[in-house]
Structure 1
Amino acid sequence: MKKSTKPKDLFHLGFELGLILKGLNGLLEMIGGILFLFLNPDRLNYIIVLLTQNELSQDPNDIVANALINLSHSFSVSTQHFGAFYLLSHGLIKCILIFLLWRRKSWAYPLTIGALALFILYQLYRYIISPSWFLIALSILDAVMIGLTLIEYRKMRSQPVQLEE
């Protein structure tokens, strides 16, 4: 009787899909980090005024427009620098790890699991400071990716080593 490999194939497919999504997320974070370098407080205020002036002229109590204006007033140069650094470093780390996993470097699996665990800890810390369902969703996705990476790592280690010719 042939043993079904469907769950293993499903985990592998989930792992590869997770790699693609994390890779895209890393690229978008790096792009966002570069954009943050050029988005100083004055530019942000100008953009927010452009985006909200029409809505506020029609409804001065618009919740979203007023929230954006309040957010732009709390945007400082230090926030800009932290945001740029965080997005660039976080995105670069993800892209490097994804590239190494895609190349099936065995040492990259535990490194990725550790990095994702640190990302989760930081996201939960940020959640405590400023609750956001987005941070919880990111943490859950990172936890799922840790599980899939662990399954893939165990599967890879159990396979016989193939020498390249």
Structure 2
Amino acid sequence: MRERVLDLVFLLGVLFKGIDGLVELVGGVLLLFATPATLLSAANRVTAEELSEDPHDLIANLIVHGAARLHAGGVLFVAAYLLLHGVVKLAIVVALLVGSRRVYPWAMAALGVFLIFQLYELVTKPSVGVAVLTVFDAVIIWLTWREWRRGRELRTTWRGTVQWVLRRQPPPDPAR
């Protein structure tokens, strides 16, 4: 049972990484065409209603203050970072879906580089979001290592996990 749950977490993690990579890729492309003034205007529009209800809302204030501090070079750096991050994540997910076991070490190495950067960010600019993302990435790296050591391809894990989920019987009714 524990093994199947870990398999499911691994598959959900890979799916999340793929969706995250796609969002980062789209965000990076959009930022290539955005000016700091455009971003500040968008941040103000998105947060206006929330800040009118609660002027001290942490998330809304972080969005507005972050957008206000951006400059053209900063926007370009964030766009390049998101594009690179998104392309690498999508490449990892696609390679895992269609590739062989040889992809696992490359995936772990790429995620490890991101993990090191996130650890640097945690030391220099601590935040709860980066801490959660770092723990998540460390778990995904460990689960990827586990799959690699077990000698399974993602397709094999996927098939076995789907069969396990679909065949799983509901717990017995205690009223009976």
TM-score range, shorter chain: 0.7 to 0.9
- Per the TM alignment, residue 105 of structure 1 is displaced from its structure 2 partner at its CA by 1.8
Give CA-to-partner distance per residue, 1:70-105, whole Å, 9 cap, x none: 323211111110111101110110110111112242
- For 2:42, give the aligned amino acid: I
Q: 2:6 aligns with which of 8, 11, 21?
A: 11
Q: State the match for 2:38 in structure 1.
A: 43
Q: Would the alpha carbon gap of residues 90 and 53 (structure 1) be closer, same or farther in structure 2, given more than 3 Å must change?
A: closer
Q: State the match for 1:130 in structure 2.
A: 125
After TM superposition, the score normalised by the length of structure 1 is 0.79
Q: 1:63 aligns with which of 56, 65, 72?
A: 56
Once structures 1 and 2 are overlaid, which stretch shifts more, 7-16 or 104-113?
Answer: 7-16
After TM superposition, the score normalised by the length of structure 2 is 0.75
Q: Classify the secondary structure of the residue corresponding to 1:63.
A: coil
- For 1:63, give the aligned amino acid: H
CA distance, structure 2, for counterparts of residue 23 and residue 54 of structure 1: 31
- For 2:96, give the aligned amino acid: L
Once structures 1 and 2 are overlaid, which stretch shifts more, 67-76 or 38-47?
Answer: 67-76
Matches within 5 A, 1:15-94: 15-51=10-46, 62-64=55-57, 67-94=62-89
Count of residues in correspondence between the two structures: 150
- For 1:134, give the aligned amino acid: G
CA distance, structure 2, for counterparts of residue 108 and residue 119 of structure 1: 17
CA distance, structure 2, for counterparts of residue 17 and residue 54 of structure 1: 34
Q: Would the alpha carbon gap of residues 67 and 114 (structure 1) be closer, same or farther in structure 2, given more than 3 Å must change?
A: closer
CA distance, structure 1, for counterparts of residue 7 and residue 50 of structure 2: 47
Q: Classify the secondary structure of the residue corresponding to 2:101.
A: coil
- Per the TM alignment, residue 68 of structure 1 is displaced from its structure 2 partner at its CA by 4.2
- For 1:62, give the aligned amino acid: P
CA distance, structure 2, for counterparts of residue 55 and residue 10 of structure 1: 38
Q: Would the alpha carbon gap of residues 62 and 151 (structure 1) be closer, same or farther in structure 2, given more than 3 Å must change?
A: same
- Per the TM alignment, residue 51 of structure 1 is displaced from its structure 2 partner at its CA by 4.4
Stretches of structure 1 that go unaligned for 5 or more consecutive residues are 1-5, 158-165
- Per the TM alignment, residue 48 of structure 1 is displaced from its structure 2 partner at its CA by 3.4
Stretches of structure 2 that go unaligned for 5 or more consecutive residues are 153-176
- Per the TM alignment, residue 50 of structure 1 is displaced from its structure 2 partner at its CA by 3.6
